[in-house]
Amino acid sequence: MGSDPPMIILNNVLAYAAYGVATSTSDHTKEACVDFFSSEEIIDARDLLWGKCENGILPKMIKRQNTTTKKGLLLTTSDIIEAIQKLGDSGSMPIFAVEFSSLGRLPLAKPSEKCPISLCERMAKLEARVGECESAMTETNFAIASMQSKLSYASIAMQPAGPAPPGQQRMEDRQKELLRQNLVKLTADLDPIDIYDQLIEGDVFTFEDKERIDHE
């Protein structure tokens, strides 16, 4: 014969506490329970759990005083969470369920997502992530601007030369060829003394160059 099926317990607080034990820390779970459920719901859940599962696994139930205060409710909720953990460790965990008509009496988030400390931690992580995205966006924009600048420079460099400045004319290839072919004839009677001053003034020649040429 197979083993007996697990017990089913219908209770909102116990179902949510068991879910918190599986997905969050004990501190987050008890804070979320106390912030959402009423003191009557928490006390009824405690009494139901011990009434159904008092089989030598659970410790003796402690009826906390001042359960109308948050401190008292936190202690009572801690007792419930500890009991659920003991049931799980012993392999005697019942099935905690919620009637469909009571679904509205369940928090809509995990305990770790409802805890203020956890929310601050998640917000800090989100802000850090946003900062990383902004930094990456800045680097991307800089890279795009640099690439656009390089493309613009390359485009200008590839453009054909424009017209000569006013008062000047560009030498055509035909004229260059004629000058090259007749260079000796054109310079045979040229006296370099006539242009020394202009060459020195334009930093083409120096006085030392002039003296060296004169002695040759």
Task: Please give the full DSSP string across 28-55, using - where no structure is assigned.
Answer: HHHHHHHHHS-HHHHHHHHHHHHHHH-S
Reported confidence tier of residue 56, pLDDT bands at 50, 70, 90: confident
Reported confidence tier of residue 192, pLDDT bands at 50, 70, 90: low
Reported confidence tier of residue 41, pLDDT bands at 50, 70, 90: very high
Is the pTM for the entire model greater than 0.75? Answer: no
> Residue 97 belongs to what H/E stretch?
strand 95-97
Count of Cβ atoms closer than 10 Å to residue 94 Cβ: 16
| Integer CA distances (angstroms), 150 to 68, 77, 99, 140, in order | 73, 67, 68, 15
Task: Calculate mean pLDDT across residues 15-28.
Answer: 90
Reported confidence tier of residue 176, pLDDT bands at 50, 70, 90: low
Give 179 or 145, the one with higher predicted confidence.
145
Q: What is the pLDDT of residue 202?
A: 66
Give 161 or 57, the one with higher predicted confidence.
57
Reported confidence tier of residue 155, pLDDT bands at 50, 70, 90: low
